[in-house]
Structure 1
Amino acid sequence: MATFKPKFIRPETDDVIDEGGGGHQEPQNSAFVFNANHNLGLVEQRERLPIRKYRDQILYCLENHQVVILVGETGSGKSTQVPQYLYEWGWHSKGMIGITEPRRVSAVTLANRVAQERGELVGDTVGYVVRFLERTSNDTHIKYMTEGILLRELLADPLLTQYGVIIVDEAHERNMLTDMVLGLLKKILRKRSNLKLIISSATIDASFFSEFFSWPRSGAEADKPISVKLSIEGRMHAVSHFYLNEPCADYVRETVETVWKLHQKEPPGDILAFLTGQEEVLEAMDLLREYIASQETTNLKVLPMYGSMTSNDQLAVFFTPPKGVRKVVLATNIAETSITIPGIVYVIDCGYVKVKWYNPTTCSDSLVVVPVSKASAIQRAGRAGRVRPGKVYRLYTKEDYDALAPRQPPEMRRSEMSGAVLQLKALGISNVLRFDFPSPPPAKNLLSALETLYALDAIDEQGQLTRPVGFLLAELPFSAMLSKMLYISGQMGCSEEIITIIAMLQVQSVFSRPASAAAQQSGRIAHRHFEVAEGDLITLLNVHSAFVEEGMTKEFCGQYYLIYRNLKRACELREQLLNMARNKYGIAIFSCKGDVEMVCKCITAGFFTQVAYLHHSGVYRQISSGTELAIHPNSTLYTLPQAQYVVYGELLQTTKLFMNHVTVIKKEWLTELAPHYYQQTTVRD
């Protein structure tokens, strides 16, 4: 029975999808294009980009308005060309041209690309700054950076006087840092009329930005709007929309059946299907391969696309399939705006998306599957009309589509806020509640953040940053609790070990978890060489020590199922953090010489608000709220006897509320290290 694989019957040929209202057309304010000129020289490539014919309009709008909202699809050339147009027309003489990106990899690759187009090395005219990495010089006029870097520059220069133009790229993502940057830039623009702002968005729902960047002006410019919206048109063919007559019970199965029907009935053209996460993508892939095997089909190629894939695996979706073969891409919402896949004619939209949601009561993040917004549904449909007239199959009814929310709640409204509050306090915004957020966060989230910061001694009773703790926590590029742990480690004499742990937590998992069951078992056995009863963070410390002792070789990583790239990166970060702690923050660097209890106490000093105790019923409960918790299956402690008290680095809600990065502690440490937070009492029945 172990080798039994279920065979699925081919879907019936009756079509459950009905064309809604004779090919219901969305009003398209903007059209998008895919740039496929990679085989031409760099100059020809630049000339053929869709944005090229809008160069003069962009420059004209920037001359006449303080804020330009630029709407154009991924691949239209916004991120690489606009900074060059500004430089070529002399805008750099008024101050540096700064471009913020939501991801460090984007900042680095875009800077490399622009430098290549200009025939220079990175660090000359074009440079970049990301966390722990900088390539700029005195000649740099175009600077790519992550949003966090711009926030740190605001600490030293609140009016950003060295910049003439700021470009906020990928603003449609509306992540926490984007919203903070936009809120702060609004304040700066009102004080500095000579600063220009370009907001670059890949979605057509840009009216929100125009409303946010509008305020009354006096004098001759009173009637002139602050912001202007410019859409970059491309070749966009008509897209027919189809809906289900009845809601479906299982959208993964429905997606697979729709792919199969399209493949049999529709003319050639690649298919892009949207699902919510990696597990669903892999499940749909297995089902489709079952169909392909049962029908012995050779002209259908199935490819996955999700965020945690390696770069090489992700590249596969961009290649044209062999002649006569149809490509099917099963993707998460990464394919909605972040990338552009050529050849797509048919889109299948499951109607859902997975988002992270913060619960201030339990202080935990949940991954929840929610219906997509109308803006996302339109964006997904827009992927179909590139090559020729396309079709989108929505796996929900027309009534459900009409009832969708206009846009997804931004990250600011569903995230933990302590990092954002620290940053704003450090920038001199004492009353965070009065700050003009683009989308104000819920009061409960703000209250939870203020309580956490007060417990960590980062703010005082008046809500002002404390010295030295509060200002140090605001300046360190980690979460408040990790920063507090680093601060305490200098006093406890275990800063070397704590910096190693922090560096290991900054990279993705160093443990390789193979796909096959046999390899998983071997990996689990290999990882036991490092696992200790004290928990996950001490285990990470052991992995680093062993890696360094064995000469940091790939062979060592292969033998013990570790990921070499991530470990190497953690070692580089550790060196940078040691220098930073010693030279910039004045933290004394000591090693505790193997005193594990000292390291565990230091971890407790940072994470004392996140403690769970073993209830007499045999489950863990959160000490502050009594909420039931479980140890994550990937944790070192999952298979060990249960400890009485543990601290955890994060909570994640999936099937249960799981604790991650768990460390075993002693009860008496809580009253010793955080007497302001815990007190010992005796309860008599």
Structure 2
Amino acid sequence: MSEGNNSASEPDNYLESEECPVEDSFGFGDDLELNQFDGLPFSSRYYKLLQERKTLSVWRVRCEFEDALVNNQLVVVSGTAKTGRSTQIPQWCAEFCLSAQYQHGMVVCTQTDRRQAVDLALRVADEMDVNIGHEVGYTIPLETCCSSDTVLRYCTDDMLLREMMSDPFLEHYGVIIIDQAHERTVSTDLLLGLLKDILLQRPELRVVVLAIPPMTDKLLSHYGSIPLISLEASSPAEVVHSNSGNKDYFYSALRLVLEIHRTKEDGDVVVFFASAEEVHCAHSILQKEGTRLGAELGQMVPVVLCRGQEEPPPVSTEQQGSKRSRMVFLSTQKGEDMWWPTESVSFVIDTGVQKKMVYNPRIRANSEVLQPISQCQVDLRKKLSGPSGKCFCLYPEDSQLPAETTPQILESNITPTVLFLKRIEIAGLGQCDFIDRPDPEGLMQALEELDYLAALDDDGNLSEIGIIMSEIPLDPQMAKALLASCEFDCVSEMLTIAAMLSAPSCFLEPPVGMTHEAVQCHRKFQHPEGDHFTLINIYNAFKQSQREQYFSAEKWCKDYFLDHSALKTAEAIRSELTDTLNRIELPISEPSFGTKSNTHNIKRALLAGFFMQIARDVDGSGNYFILTHKHMAQVHPLSSYGAQSHKLGLPEWVVFHDYTLSENNCMRTVSEISPQVFIQMAPLYFFYNLPPSESKDILQDMLDPDGSSKSKNEKQKAATVSSSDDSGGGAVVPLTYDRCVIQ
């Protein structure tokens, strides 16, 4: 990260206050010329950065924090990213562990965003005057930069959670810092719940939680009598509210950006939109509008800055150095507490809404909802530009907003969470003490789904296959499909499918006027058996482009309107999954893609995991009936079936990877299946719990063409069928039948 991108350490002008002398902290020696972490003399840059660090508001509470850390197992710190909490507190914790000669372990600091974890590690290594990857490192999905010398490590919260599979009591660490706890990700909430039990088992462990109100109040209530250290934050900016509703918030925000630019007032702009789609659309519009502005106004440079970006947005040296250029950062919800790349923000435009995917356990699908942001997010946005800036809120001042961000665990499919918790129970860790307990209906649905996947035994504990599934870093359904592929000799192909579906979409949004060309290019990869097979075609073609010396893979992707970074991510995920299968000694078959038997086996493996996601075209025109919850859906327009339907017709029975209850109710990643194979692969006790329908009757006739008494007896032994519940949520049944062909 460049020196110009050090937002959290280029502080507001706080007055320097008294502090703990560095040489006295935790009993260190008197020689300040030597770095206590690597034994080398400090560079001149260290002292320059030290002076900057001392002006951060977090520095004022250094003595108070160090004292609390020595005398308490758990400390809560309240303050935003602009206070310097995420860079300074981990360093003081590293000094604390050093004073104990690391006998209790090193320091780990979690982040909710992978890019932020990397940026913070780079900045802190610079401040500590050590090399990144040595004393300070980071771990994010698919990338690790650490060594045996690492004493302070930044990582994403999901990666620390995954470490608990092999180290359930996190004995490798002496201090665990949970940053951005107020963002309420599933992984952070799990860590906060599990650490309560771990602290009882490890009295020497220290946990520091960094959050903002009202989350800090919840933490104090959850953990009991613990110290709270509050940091001073910059005063909020001048706030201007809109008196009209925010129905037209998107174009209102864009017009406001252009108005600000025309005033020629100094300062960059941050705009918060509802979704990443809106961000990219706004970027395209502002780029066009920017070319029409007069040269006397200076350059306006829109920059996409969304959570989860693989790389920071490209900003040219010319753009950075131009006095007249204005950066317009376009972000989404939960971007308020990010590691911002500039301190020059003078204007914040807040649309006040966010698009979220909320999981409905009754229909086993996400619903896209547009809802207001929380008051907690509003307060963070108001402070982004500092007291001298302006915050434009595109909603009335008296708008009724929820006080805090809704925990993701209340809005997500918690089946992977339940699988993880079942796994760590084996290691002897107690129950997770959730700050906000998951919905009972969602919990029951998760247990039912794991039961259908044969991940649970008769006592409700993890079965052998469940233990193996928990080792694979995939959602349970995909993990089961991958395990089934070992039985059906199509592991290579299923690894590719799993990797491509875990990575971001490989299809690029074509430039204006190039849609037809993009469709024609994508059509070259389409496979008649469906989208899962099309993904294999794309991946294999991408690998072929890498092998051909005379051809650039980047150029090949560009020519075919494919996302090179997404395909590289899929390649890395596939490699990680291959390593996992090798580690747990599962067989990996040789690739045989294209043969008839291989095609049949891929579908069998897919159905072993995704038998709950089956639909039937009820009228031959693409109106698909989803058997589990009786909703109607369409094939997504970008599906190979969507493109070929006018030529080949649509298949009657399909398996799909994803379904979203939204305006179009589309199924994504769809492939044709045989109903006979579905009957073979689906557990009978799942089949009999399907709600009644014409489609189920057709399957029933295939299963029992003669109406034999044997089948009738089996049906009677099965659990009670939900006769009228459209949600398809029947009771969990006795485990009378084989759950699946693969055991």
Please indicate the TM-score interval, normalised by the length of the shorter structure: 0.7 to 0.9
Counterparts of 2:315 and 2:94, CA distance in 1 = 32
* Stretch of structure 1 that moved more, 192-201 or 306-315: 306-315
Counterparts of 2:256 and 2:137, CA distance in 1 = 47
Counterparts of 1:573 and 1:409, CA distance in 2 = 30
Counterparts of 1:471 and 1:260, CA distance in 2 = 56
Give, in angstroms, the shift of residue 421 of structure 1. Answer: 0.2
Q: Secondary structure at the match of 1:637?
A: helix
Match of 1:647 in 2: 655
Q: 1:414 aligns with which of 384, 398, 411?
A: 411
Match of 2:333 in 1: 333
Q: Secondary structure at the match of 2:349?
A: strand
Match of 1:495 in 2: 491
Counterparts of 2:309 and 2:150, CA distance in 1 = 34
Trace 1:508-547 onto structure 2 (pairs within 5 A). Answer: 508-518=504-514, 520-547=515-542
Q: Secondary structure at the match of 1:353?
A: strand
Letter in 1 for 2:619: H
Counterparts of 1:644 and 1:433, CA distance in 2 = 48
* Stretch of structure 1 that moved more, 470-479 or 63-72: 63-72
Match of 1:24 in 2: none
Counterparts of 2:255 and 2:273, CA distance in 1 = 14
Match of 2:350 in 1: 349
**Are residue 662 (structure 1) and residue 661 (structure 2) matched?**
no
Q: 2:69 aligns with which of 62, 71, 80?
A: 62
> How big is each residue's C-alpha offset from its partner over 1:426-446, in whole Å with a ceiling of 9 and x where there is no partner?
111899997421111212211
The verdict on how the C-alpha distance between 1:291 and 1:491 changes in structure 2, with shifts beyond 3 A counting, is: closer
> How big is each residue's C-alpha offset from its partner over 1:14-51, in whole Å with a ceiling of 9 and x where there is no partner?
xxxxxxxxxxxxxxxxxxx854389x934422431313
* Stretch of structure 1 that moved more, 103-112 or 609-618: 103-112
* Stretch of structure 1 that moved more, 413-422 or 291-300: 291-300
Give, in angstroms, the shift of residue 384 of structure 1. Answer: 2.8
**Are residue 195 (structure 1) and residue 202 (structure 2) matched?**
no
Counterparts of 1:131 and 1:83, CA distance in 2 = 21
The verdict on how the C-alpha distance between 1:318 and 1:654 changes in structure 2, with shifts beyond 3 A counting, is: farther
Letter in 2 for 1:446: L
* Stretch of structure 1 that moved more, 345-354 or 258-267: 258-267
> How big is each residue's C-alpha offset from its partner over 1:529-568, in whole Å with a ceiling of 9 and x where there is no partner?
2111211211111122223334444243344333333333
The verdict on how the C-alpha distance between 1:474 and 1:309 changes in structure 2, with shifts beyond 3 A counting, is: closer
**CA contact under 8 A between 1:275 and 1:349: conserved in structure 2?**
yes
Give, in angstroms, the shift of residue 180 of structure 1. Answer: 0.6
The verdict on how the C-alpha distance between 1:317 and 1:213 changes in structure 2, with shifts beyond 3 A counting, is: farther
**Are residue 36 (structure 1) and residue 36 (structure 2) matched?**
no
**CA contact under 8 A between 1:472 and 1:585: conserved in structure 2?**
no
**CA contact under 8 A between 1:123 and 1:136: conserved in structure 2?**
yes
Q: Secondary structure at the match of 2:496?
A: helix
**CA contact under 8 A between 1:292 and 1:298: conserved in structure 2?**
no
Match of 1:612 in 2: 615
**CA contact under 8 A between 1:74 and 1:202: conserved in structure 2?**
no
**CA contact under 8 A between 2:138 and 2:145: conserved in structure 1?**
yes
Q: Secondary structure at the match of 1:524?
A: helix
Counterparts of 1:207 and 1:419, CA distance in 2 = 29
Trace 1:100-115 onto structure 2 (pairs within 5 A). Answer: 100-115=110-125
* Stretch of structure 1 that moved more, 405-414 or 637-646: 637-646
Q: 2:49 aligns with which of 45, 51, 55?
A: 45
Letter in 1 for 2:251: R
Matched pairs, number: 634
Counterparts of 1:294 and 1:126, CA distance in 2 = 46
Q: TM-score, normalised by structure 1?
A: 0.84
> How big is each residue's C-alpha offset from its partner over 1:274-294, in whole Å with a ceiling of 9 and x where there is no partner?
221244345556776787788
Give, in angstroms, the shift of residue 391 of structure 1. Answer: 2.9
Match of 1:470 in 2: 466
Match of 1:549 in 2: 544
Trace 1:175-324 onto structure 2 (pairs within 5 A). Answer: 175-201=185-211, 205-214=215-224, 225=225, 227-234=226-233, 236-237=234-235, 239-259=237-257, 262=260, 268-281=266-279, 296=294, 298-299=296-297, 301=300, 303-307=302-306, 311=311, 313=313, 315=315, 322-323=322-323
* Stretch of structure 1 that moved more, 495-504 or 296-305: 296-305
**Are residue 82 (structure 1) and residue 86 (structure 2) matched?**
no
The verdict on how the C-alpha distance between 1:459 and 1:561 changes in structure 2, with shifts beyond 3 A counting, is: same
**CA contact under 8 A between 1:347 and 1:381: conserved in structure 2?**
yes
Counterparts of 1:292 and 1:125, CA distance in 2 = 45
Q: 1:637 aligns with which of 635, 641, 646?
A: 641
Letter in 1 for 2:443: L
> How big is each residue's C-alpha offset from its partner over 1:411-431, in whole Å with a ceiling of 9 and x where there is no partner?
011000100000111111899
Q: Secondary structure at the match of 1:405?
A: coil
Counterparts of 2:332 and 2:280, CA distance in 1 = 11
* Stretch of structure 1 that moved more, 265-274 or 92-101: 265-274
Give, in angstroms, the shift of residue 504 of structure 1. Answer: 2.2
Counterparts of 2:502 and 2:473, CA distance in 1 = 10
**CA contact under 8 A between 1:37 and 1:45: conserved in structure 2?**
no
Match of 1:578 in 2: 578
> How big is each residue's C-alpha offset from its partner over 1:317-356, in whole Å with a ceiling of 9 and x where there is no partner?
9966844565544432354111434222332322212222
The verdict on how the C-alpha distance between 1:445 and 1:316 changes in structure 2, with shifts beyond 3 A counting, is: farther
Match of 2:150 in 1: 140
**CA contact under 8 A between 2:78 and 2:230: conserved in structure 1?**
yes
Match of 2:687 in 1: 678
Structure 1 unpaired stretches of 5+: 1-32, 215-224
The verdict on how the C-alpha distance between 1:121 and 1:263 changes in structure 2, with shifts beyond 3 A counting, is: closer
Counterparts of 2:641 and 2:349, CA distance in 1 = 42
Match of 1:451 in 2: 448
**CA contact under 8 A between 2:367 and 2:661: conserved in structure 1?**
yes
**CA contact under 8 A between 2:655 and 2:671: conserved in structure 1?**
yes
**CA contact under 8 A between 1:345 and 1:384: conserved in structure 2?**
yes
Letter in 1 for 2:442: N
Q: TM-score, normalised by structure 2?
A: 0.78
The verdict on how the C-alpha distance between 1:320 and 1:143 changes in structure 2, with shifts beyond 3 A counting, is: closer
The verdict on how the C-alpha distance between 1:460 and 1:232 changes in structure 2, with shifts beyond 3 A counting, is: same
**CA contact under 8 A between 2:110 and 2:117: conserved in structure 1?**
yes
Counterparts of 1:430 and 1:157, CA distance in 2 = 9
* Stretch of structure 1 that moved more, 417-426 or 595-604: 595-604
Give, in angstroms, the shift of residue 453 of structure 1. Answer: 0.8
Structure 2 unpaired stretches of 5+: 1-6, 13-43, 689-698, 706-743
Counterparts of 1:260 and 1:132, CA distance in 2 = 40
**CA contact under 8 A between 2:246 and 2:395: conserved in structure 1?**
yes
Letter in 1 for 2:687: Y
* Stretch of structure 1 that moved more, 90-99 or 175-184: 90-99
Letter in 2 for 1:396: Y
**CA contact under 8 A between 2:168 and 2:429: conserved in structure 1?**
no
* Stretch of structure 1 that moved more, 407-416 or 649-658: 649-658
> How big is each residue's C-alpha offset from its partner over 1:133-166, in whole Å with a ceiling of 9 and x where there is no partner?
4444443332333323332332333322332111
**CA contact under 8 A between 1:646 and 1:664: conserved in structure 2?**
yes
The verdict on how the C-alpha distance between 1:434 and 1:137 changes in structure 2, with shifts beyond 3 A counting, is: closer
Match of 1:30 in 2: none
* Stretch of structure 1 that moved more, 303-312 or 576-585: 303-312
**CA contact under 8 A between 2:336 and 2:381: conserved in structure 1?**
yes
Counterparts of 1:343 and 1:534, CA distance in 2 = 53
Q: Identity over aligned residues, as a percent?
A: 28
* Stretch of structure 1 that moved more, 565-574 or 502-511: 565-574
**CA contact under 8 A between 2:472 and 2:580: conserved in structure 1?**
no
* Stretch of structure 1 that moved more, 639-648 or 245-254: 245-254
The verdict on how the C-alpha distance between 1:309 and 1:434 changes in structure 2, with shifts beyond 3 A counting, is: closer
* Stretch of structure 1 that moved more, 153-162 or 649-658: 153-162
Counterparts of 1:258 and 1:333, CA distance in 2 = 19
Letter in 2 for 1:608: F
Give, in angstroms, the shift of residue 167 of structure 1. Answer: 0.8
